[in-house]
Amino acid sequence: MAGVPDWVPSQIDWNQPSVARIYDYALGGAHNFETDRRAQDAALEVFPHLNDAARANRAFLHRALRFCLDRGVRQFLDLGSGIPTVGNVHEVAQDIAPESRVVYVDHDPVAVTHARSMLADDPNTAFLHEDIRAPHRILEHPDALRLLDFDQPIAVLMVGMLHYVNDASDPQHLLRDYRARMAPGSYFIASHLTSDLPEMRAAAPFFDDSRNPMTLRGRSEVEALLGDFDLVEPGVVFTVEWRPEVPPGEHPERSACYAAVGRCR
């Protein structure tokens, strides 16, 4: 199509908002369409801190990664990795430990196209175009088996992701499938949008027409989901409260997302 940027894959649905592109827009990126911007702008009307929440989520991801790297983890499985933006997992990890290996997974076509072109020259990374609700396809994928040694500690990430797994998809069972392949000393890094905040409950329906409607959950539900892991301090808290490098401010709840890191025994 004339005038279509070269990062736009051919199988795009121009009319359906995509959470990957909405999140890109929230973070100030350029890989999004009018339909995505309209959904996010409408949600911002009821919850003006939503873009700050996206940035806080990203900052949590970086702190949690460094936490795992400091404990010797050198391999990462990033589930629902999104459209590449500043500070991707392999960039943070390889900056600290150049030998780090990263497998990214997402089902969004823009994320796939953009990430594959970005990672083409890095033999220590791979991008799988898969649905994270099919753990066996991911865990048995030749690229995952090539890059990840499941006999050694690994960090599995579901950051800004778990609220896209609805109850019908049985998130508890899904986590158990991934958990079963994680060696002792592995970490699970998660963040999850809250149902405990009225503004977030008001904003969520604006994304109902997207490919990934949200299932918000409360703190105790998120704790229960992560019950098979030993949660490292401070447990399940808002993203800005998880081992912050700067004071979290007076309204940590405005970061709208619970964060936690769990360890496998």
Among 32, 113, 212, 215, binds ligand SAM (CB under 6 A): 212
Backbone torsions φ then ψ of 89, nearest 5 degrees: -55, -45
Asked if 132 interacts with ligand SAM (CB under 6 A), we say yes
Among 25, 164, 242, 258, binds ligand SAM (CB under 6 A): 164
Residues 30-69 that bind ligand SAM (CB under 6 A): 57-58, 61
DSSP string spanning 128-149? EE--TT-HHHHHT-HHHHHH--
Comparison of 186 and 212: residue with beta carbon closer to ligand SAM = 212
Among 133, 181, 217, 254, binds ligand SAM (CB under 6 A): 133
Are 139 and 181 within 8 A, CB to CB? yes
Among 31, 36, 74, 82, binds ligand SAM (CB under 6 A): 82
DSSP string spanning 37-104? HHHHHHHHHH-TTHHHHHHHHHHHHHHHHHHHHHTT--EEEEET--S--SS-HHHHHHHH-TT-EEEE
Q: What angle do CA 196, 42, 165 make, to 5 degrees?
A: 50
Strand partners, 158: 190
| Per-residue binder mask for ligand SAM (CB under 6 A), 223-262, x = binder | ----------------------------------------
Asked if 189 interacts with ligand SAM (CB under 6 A), we say no
Backbone torsions φ then ψ of 160, nearest 5 degrees: 60, 35
In whole angstroms, how close is the CB of 259 to ligand SAM at the nearest point?
10
Asked if 119 interacts with ligand SAM (CB under 6 A), we say no
Q: Tell me, what DSSP letter sits at residue 156?
A: E
Binding site residues, ligand SAM, CB under 6 A:
19-20, 23, 57-58, 61, 80-82, 105-108, 111, 131-133, 159-161, 164, 212
